[in-house]
Chain A
Amino acid sequence: MQKLLELLKDGNSRTLEILADELGTTTDDVTRQMEYLERIGVIRRVLQPFENKGCGTCSSCSGCSKNAAACKGCIPQNAALNMGEMWEVV
């Protein structure tokens, strides 16, 4: 896990597969290590702007469940749903 953390700190981005490859292990192993690191607060998942707060966060917005066009600052509903997940070192 120390090695995993070192890779994370070198400033490059990697996919799970690439990490597994560089660490000589499986993606399952990387996943469980990341789960642990996340639990102990060393890394965290990056909340995307559209998650939980896609709407209603800008001051001009009164919530757009009914009228998505009301607020230009809000990220449109159903946008960017399939973009994968990201983690970063805390």
Chain B
Amino acid sequence: MSVATIALLGQPNSGKSTMFNALTGLHQHVGNWPGKTVEKKEGSFAYKGTTYDVADLPGSYSMSANSDEEVITRDFIASGNADVVCILADSSQLERSLFMLADYAGIDAPCFLVLNMEDVAREQGKTINAAALEKKLSIPVMLFSATDKKAYDKFYQTLERALKNKSHIDVSALEEEYEKLEGYNEIKEQLNDGVMEGYTPMWLTVKYLENDKVVSAKLKSELPADKVAVLESLKGDNNGAIATGECKFKWIDELVDGVVKGKKQSVKLGRLDRIYTHRFWGKPAVVLTVVLGLLASFIPALPIMAVASVFDILKSYLNGVLEAAGCSPFLIGLVCDVLIQSMSYVVKMLGFVFGVTLVFGLLEEVGVMARISYVFDNTMGKLGLQGKSVMPFLVSFGCTMGGAAGARVIDNWGQKVLTIALAWAVPCGAAWATIPMLSTIFFGAGAPVVIVVVLLAMILHMWITAKIFGAKLVNKEDRCGMIMELPPYHKPKWKALFRYVFGRTKDTFFRVVKVVLLVCLIFWLLSYGSGVNDTSILYKVGTAIEPVTKFVGLPWQLFIAFIAASVGKEGAIGVISALYTGGSYGEGFAQAMSGAARAANLGDILLANVSRPEALAFIFAITFNMPCVVALAATYQEIHSVKWTAKIAIYYTVVSLLFACIAYHIGLLIW
């Protein structure tokens, strides 16, 4: 009984394991390759009186020395362990999967080619002429489906044929390509047959040109010093691997030409993608999508805002009950003005968190967000940034900290700093909750317009900021292109989407409740005078700075809210809640200004006390103020520079007040 060894060689996903299992069944054992953590699978089967030992070589992309798997594979074959090598390729994508064969060509061991997954290729409408390919390659070639038990008879016959003929790949056409490469012939001349056992001079030359570590080292140790010097002088730049790769692909294309018939995948862009990826229309289309998305997010938000008015009713009801029960004004204020009032704000904010998360989650699910990121990706270059900066920006729409952490993918320090500096301008989740809510209170149906203006201001802000900081931080030459593989459009998975949206809303709820309640309580206490507002410290400080803050359009209460917003945007709501509606000052103020005893509706109080230009100034001020203290810390953590962290923080504070000032004065002209 004779024994033969076959080695299975193929790229990952070529169906090699399926084939190995089908061939050897239970006769297999698994170990490790000596000294490596790479799995070694061996097995055996008998056919017509011959025992075949099967070595399942580790799945590897090619025969280069880029990984342990590839080195093991190559050594095993070259050392003559296998009587024949069975090379697997994926029939459904021959142009790609024949690369292993092309890289194998030139190794001494006999081989044959199995075009696996022929059923998949057939489903794609492709017909493959194996006989024609066999003629071109002069090794046995067979169509195969490893999952089809009946196909194995044909496999055994092909195997026997390959063993009998000791078939080798006809490399003449491939070598013709190689010969066009600079230095190829000269290097090959230096190499005799057998300089490295198991490899032809052609194969070694190609690997040498590719700068293959193992081959280069081996040749240098095997050859006399003068020959090594000649080799070194002949080797060109580092583009060797690209040039040889081109030769291999060209050879593969010629092999496949006329052998594969059927549907060839053409370059086809969907109608929507043709707009999004259009050089001119892409940007307007994307901006329109974002704006429509934001407007759409008002739809689920508004009913929730209406629900929040229940709190206002609850507040006046409880107020009455507590007063009737003879509770102290302090306790009544604490319950009604701090607790219930804050909750009313929080629920209103949540409506927008829910709306924005839902709409943008949906856009992402169906694949539109990827297109948006693609379009902005190109714009990054104009700001002096890497294309990948776009992801930190998009993440910053959720949380600036995430954006700062996301900037970690950018290796260039200057570009990383600039990316984070610009990410600060992107309104974060907390901003998306507070700003639309405040806009709705102040501007009613005009709120969407305000939001759009804020967005446009954001783009302007980022552009200016990039110009100011960019000069010091980035060189234009650092910029490289990007390739994006856009995901196909698909229907949203509603269940997963809603789980995500509710999860986000819930997380935001708990975080916001904590901040708003705490800030509101502190400021309520600070402003809680002993009945006469003028005595509270806050009032004194506030009125003292008001002449200055008035210039940028902020009454002192709003200015304090602005300061609080730099701790966290939600903080601003806490301050407003305390200073305008809670505490003795708010009460007195409200009474003095509106003449109402105690306005039940918070919106009414705000409207009565804050003019529209002031409101606009405030919205701009907190939108572009520094995102929050934690984001500041995260920024320092990423860029490790106190100087730049401070620079960015001061810059943002100044610019936000500048924006507020401009908004205020424009507002004065309008209203």
Contacts and interface: CB of A to CB of B under 8 A. Distances in A.
A and B form one complex: yes
A84 B96 contact: no
B378 A12 contact: yes
B630 A78 contact: no
Interface string B236-253: 000101110110010000
Given A73-B405, A82-B369, A82-B370, A11 B507 contact: no
B73 to A, nearest CB: 14
Nearest to A21: B267
B88 interface: no
Interface string A57-90: 1110000000011001111111111111111110
Identify the interface centre among A7, A13, A15, A73: most chain B CB within 10 Å of its CB.
Answer: A13
Nearest to A78: B500
Contacts of B374: 13, 15, 84
B637 interface: yes
A7 to B, nearest CB: 7
B377 interface: yes
B32 interface: no
Interface string B354-397: 00000000001101011001100110110000111001101100
A13 B377 contact: yes
A49 B245 CA distance: 32
Given A9-B481, A11-B479, A14-B483, A69 B507 contact: yes
A75 B398 contact: yes
Contacts of A28: 93, 95-96, 265
Given A39-B62, A73-B630, A76-B503, A57 B483 contact: no
Contacts of A88: 386-388, 480-483
A85 B484 contact: yes
A31 B483 CA distance: 11
Nearest to A25: B267
B61 interface: yes
B123 interface: no
A74 B511 CA distance: 14
A59 B637 contact: yes
A83 B265 contact: no
Interface in B389-412: 391-392, 394-395, 398-399, 401-402, 404-406, 408-409
A83 B249 contact: no
A15 B481 contact: no
B381 A12 contact: yes
B360 to A, nearest CB: 10
Interface in A29-69: 29, 31-37, 39-43, 46-50, 57-59, 68-69
A69 B408 CA distance: 21
Identify the interface centre among B373, B380, B402: most chain A CB within 10 Å of its CB.
Answer: B402
Given A8-B483, A73-B399, A75-B402, A84 B373 contact: yes
A20 B440 CA distance: 47
Contact of A84 (B277, B370, B398): B370
B153 interface: no
B510 interface: yes
A58 B249 contact: no
Contacts of A35: 61, 96
B457 to A, nearest CB: 25
A69 to B, nearest CB: 4
Contacts of B62: 39
A11 to B, nearest CB: 4
Nearest to A10: B481
Interface in B83-119: 93, 95-96, 99
Nearest to B507: A69
A17 B391 contact: no
B66 interface: yes
Contacts of A48: 391, 406, 409
Given A1-B245, A26-B266, A73 B634 contact: yes
B484 A86 contact: yes
A79 B630 CA distance: 21
Interface string B625-636: 000001000100
Contact of A39 (B64, B267, B506): B64
A4 to B, nearest CB: 9
Interface in B225-262: 239, 241-243, 245-246, 249
B507 A2 contact: no
B264 interface: yes
A58 B64 contact: no
Nearest to A18: B277
Contacts of B241: 40, 42
Contacts of B377: 13, 86
B26 interface: no
Interface in B265-287: 265-269, 273, 277
8 interchain residue pairs of minimum CB distance: A49-B406, A84-B370, A69-B507, A32-B96, A73-B401, A13-B377, A13-B482, A8-B481
6 contacts: A20-B267, A28-B96, A49-B409, A72-B399, A83-B370, A87-B482
Interface of A: 1-2, 5, 7-21, 26-29, 31-37, 39-43, 46-50, 57-59, 68-69, 72-89
Interface of B: 61-62, 64, 66, 93, 95-96, 99, 210, 239, 241-243, 245-246, 249, 264-269, 273, 277, 364-365, 367, 369-370, 373-374, 377-378, 380-381, 386-388, 391-392, 394-395, 398-399, 401-402, 404-406, 408-409, 479-487, 496, 499-500, 503-504, 506-507, 510-511, 630, 634, 637
